Amino acid sequence: MTAKTATSASDSVSARAVAALSGVKSEPGITKPDEILVAENINRHFGGLVAVDVDRLSVQRASITALIGPNGAGKTTFFNVLAGFDTPDAGTWRYENHELRNKAAYKIAQLGMVRTFQLTKVLAKMTVLENMRLGAQRQLGERILAAPFPFAWSGQEEQVTERALTLLRRFNLYEKKDDFAGTMSGGQRKLLEMARALMTDPTMIMLDEPMAGVNPALTQSLLGHIKELREEGLTVLFIEHDMDAVRDISDWVVVMAQGRIIAEGPPASVMRDKAVIDAYLGAHHDEELTKSGESLTQNKKAKST
Amino acid sequence: MDWGQIFVISITAMVGSTTIIYALAALGLNIQFGYTGLLNFGQAGFAAIGAYSVAVVTATLGQSLWLSIFIGLIGAVIFGLILGIPTLRLRADYLAIVTIAAAEVIRQTVRSVSLNEYFGGSDGITGKYAREFYSFNPFDQAISWGPIQFNSAQASWITVVGWVLIGLIVLLTWLLVRSPWGRVVKSIREDENASRSLGKNVYFYKMQALILGGVVGSLAGIYWAIDAQSVQPDNYSSRFTFFAYTILILGGAARVFGPVVGSIIFWFILVFIGESLTQLVATGIIPDTILRSDQIGQVRFMLVGLALMLLIVYRPQGIFGDKRELALDDR
Ligand SMILES: Nc1ncnc2c1ncn2[C@@H]1O[C@H](COP(=O)(O)OP(=O)(O)OP(=O)(O)O)[C@@H](O)[C@H]1O
Ligand SMILES: [Mg+2]
């Protein structure tokens, strides 16, 4: 019964998010009705290689936005720039009312915009629970002058632990809480990293391939977790290669190729977009085959049966 | 051969001044390197600042010893800032390069001929400048405790003070590393970007650790200057730093008691081997053709080196370390 109410709640939130975006045109860089993050003219090159060249990106608050694109499209580099882990050659970006250019990564995280990494960065030599506690913000015991006096921070530590355990239960990691994070599998690390990012109590969470290396059964529960975040009012921006997952949970999809945003829109329509298909399969993928169009359809049939 | 005497000398060395000085230096390194992962190769510089502050302010400038200690500690804070500001934002190796060079700059400065009137050149400064400290000596004669025998009332007093100091620093370290502050610095040691992504001001924490460890390092120099009532520049060469690192790794980095136990064992082994060889040569058991008495100083370091190699092979985590943590590196 609880599961049922949860689903219907999730459906209504999702419906609201979709409704909010329904009037928005599918056009790269288009302004969203309630934007939480806006990036403009972001440029990042490595030597001669232009990794990111984004004219404009606007992200709708309390929605799930997917950032997709072929390997090497510049998605991770773009994330790094937005979160302050890399300095762009040009560009400005704004989160809520904060100008983020020249802001240190830790300050951006403190403002409530928290990211995870494509290659997970769990702290292997700390226990799972300690990893989680590290995520909590404004801890008195993290100040060097208060740290030697446990009575000053032990109360807060208890609250932090409580919150950590609740999140660990939710991510099915409770049993592992006292293990070193280094003993966990790749998929479990993805889960821990996401749970740890949530410990910061973010407003917007940026996930770099949260589903990569996670087994299909776990993927389902991860997708569920991400939807729950939207219900709690969080904004989610995530990079993902798994198209089924993208179609399943995202309200809006942004497509990058060769550093540029080439298309954006609701998942169903974006995936039919010619530019998107070209970017994934190569612009000339059908030229050679025009004459032997039959063999292509035959192939498709063979696959579907 | 007088094994009894060798034993007494070695046991006394275990708790003596040298053990205390290096334990302090290694305790500072433990905060920096052990817990935060900062490669400070200039601990000798921090110690030199402490030692020369004491000697210069008292002997050369005629000021109070307590003021000189205070200046030594403030000097370490400033030295830490000067080293940290340009390097702590960069990769870890930059700190290593800058600290080893800066410590050498300090040594060369205090031993330079042109500044002879302040620092005493390569002879350093000697004098009864720590009278204020010894005026508090409650002992009127040398104390002995089991096989441990001090050779003067003064030595007894400074040793007791030294161990109290070590006790306090161990306690502070223990309180710090089990606090949320300790959690942050340990996360920095493992992966700075992970800490940053969780809103931690990595640069600030590294600076705190560098300064705190440096202040503890300067206490080593302050202690040495008061104990010996003399300072010599060449005591603060990079050899000092490397002994402290050896001690830290021997005892087990990132263990609260690691530096203390490491220092005790290091100096016990060194003195024990030295004394044994001296007596073996003196009594002719080891003939002159194999080892002369003037070669013992070098040979004992060779043997200590061998012992350390065996330790690294068979117990890479140090005496106190946790082997499971090392295994986690391989994944
Ligand atoms: N530090 C760097 N130095 C040089 N080139 C880089 C660097 N980081 C990324 N690149 C290049 O920038 C381009 C974009 O890389 P990025 O990691 O952003 O791609 P991505 O879209 O995240 O790809 P994937 O889906 O495979 O993770 C690639 O061509 C990559 O080789
Ligand atoms: Mg990537």
Q: Is residue A192 part of a domain?
A: no
The full 3-state SS of chain B, as one line of letters, equals CCHHHHHHHHHHHHHCHHHHHHHHHHHHHHHHHHHCCCCCCCHHHHHHHHHHHHHHHHHHCCCCHHHHHHHHHHHHHHHHHHHHHHHCCCCHHHHHHHHHHHHHHHHHHHCCHHHHHHHCHHHCEECCCCHHHHCCCCCCCCCEECCEECCCHHHHHHHHHHHHHHHHHHHHHHHHHCCHHHHHHHHHHHCHHHHHHCCCCHHHHHHHHHHHHHHHHHHHHHHHHHHHCEECHHHHCHHHHHHHHHHHHHHCCCCCCHHHHHHHHHHHHHHHHHHHHHHHHHCCCCCCCCCCHHHHHHHHHHHHHHHHHHHHHHCCCCCCCCHHHHHHHHC
ipTM of model: 0.89
For chain B, the average pLDDT equals 92
Atom of ligand 1 nearest to the CA of A47: 4
- Structure confidence by residue, pLDDT tens digits, B33-63: 999 999 999 999 999 999 999 999 999 999 9
Read off the pTM: 0.91
Residues A85 and A228 in one domain: yes
Q: Of A106, A116, A130, A206, which to mutate for an interface test with B (greatest number of B Cβ within 10 Å)?
A: A106
Task: Enumerate residues 6+ apart whose C-beta is below 8 A from B132.
Answer: B64, B65, B66
Q: Enumerate the residues of chain B whose CB falls inside 8 A of the CB of residue A194.
A: none
Q: Is residue A92 part of a domain?
A: yes
Residues A118 and A215 in one domain: yes
Q: Enumerate the residues of chain A whose CB falls inside 8 A of the CB of residue B325.
A: 125, 180
Q: Is residue A146 part of a domain?
A: yes
CA distance A83 to chain B (A): 8
Q: Is residue A188 part of a domain?
A: no
Predicted confidence (pLDDT) at residue A42 exceeds the cutoff of 80: yes
Task: Specify the long-range contacts of residues A279-282, CB closer than 8 Å, at least 24 apart.
Answer: A279/A69, A279/A70, A279/A73, A279/A255, A280/A70
Residues A46 and A160 in one domain: no
Residues A117 and A131 in one domain: no
Mean pLDDT of B87-98: 89
Q: Is residue A232 part of a domain?
A: yes
Residues A68 and A24 in one domain: yes
What is the H or E stretch that residue A150 is in? Answer: helix A150-170
Q: Is residue A53 part of a domain?
A: yes
Residues A171 and A66 in one domain: no
Residues A53 and A117 in one domain: yes
Residue A167 domain boundaries: 125-183
| Closest residue on chain B to A193 (Cα) | B194
- Structure confidence by residue, pLDDT tens digits, B3-27: 888 988 899 899 999 999 999 999 9
Residue A77 Cα to ligand 2 midpoint, Å, equals: 7
Domain boundary (A153, A183, A213) is at A183
Residues A107 and A240 in one domain: yes
- Structure confidence by residue, pLDDT tens digits, B171-228: 999 999 999 999 999 999 999 999 999 999 999 999 999 999 999 999 999 999 999 9
Number of A–B residue contacts, CB under 8 Å: 106
- Structure confidence by residue, pLDDT tens digits, B140-180: 888 888 888 888 889 999 999 999 999 999 999 999 999 99
Interchain pair A134, B176: CB under 8 A: no
The domain total for chain A is 2
All structural domains of chain B: 3-330 (1.10.3470)
Residues A172 and A231 in one domain: no
Residues A12 and A106 in one domain: yes
A71 or A286: whose pLDDT is higher?
A71
Place of tokens 């060889």: B277
Predicted confidence (pLDDT) at residue A289 exceeds the cutoff of 70: no
Q: Is residue A196 part of a domain?
A: no
Place of tokens 């302004």: A31
Cα(B235)–Cα(B205) distance, integer angstroms: 30
CATH number for position A61:
3.40.50.300
Closest-approaching ligand to the CA atom of A67: 1
Residue A62 Cα to ligand 1 midpoint, Å, equals: 28
Residues A209 and A112 in one domain: yes
